[in-house]
Copies of this chain bind each other. A is one copy, B any other.
């Protein structure tokens, strides 16, 4: 999954019926230092993520499993969780000293 930041909303009135109810977020992937890294993408929101929040984004075929299993929908990226905290190995090692 990607660690990413919610940077906006994407509004679309003309879209396929089976994705019309979804909220679409504009997402910026983050690097190791939590700064922007890599190109932006559009992801469906399934956890109620807000602007500026750090989130976990699932991509590709697994993204479809975040929705009803009755009918697969053409969504290739979805926010599956809000990242509260990152515990870096370096910091954990430093604390033990």
Residues of B within 8 A of A13 (CB): 82, 84
How would residues 3 to 31 of chain A score, 1 for a CB under 8 Å from any chain B CB and 0 otherwise? 10011111111111011000010101111
Selected from B6, B12, B82, the residue in CB contact (under 8 A) with A83 is B12
A85 at the interface (CB under 8 A from B): yes
Q: How far is the CA of A76 from the CA of B25 in the complex (A)?
A: 19
Q: Place the interface of chain A in its size category.
A: 35 or more
Interface of A is mostly: mixed
Contacts of A86 in B (CB 8 A): 8-11, 26
Contact with A60, one of B11, B66, B76, B88 (Cβ below 8 angstroms): B76
Please list the residues of chain A having a beta carbon within 8 angstroms of any beta carbon in chain B.
1-3, 6-16, 18-19, 24, 26, 28-32, 36-43, 46-48, 51-52, 56, 58-66, 69, 71-78, 80-90, 92-93
Closest 6 CB pairs of A and B: A15-B81, A51-B89, A61-B61, A12-B81, A1-B42, A66-B74
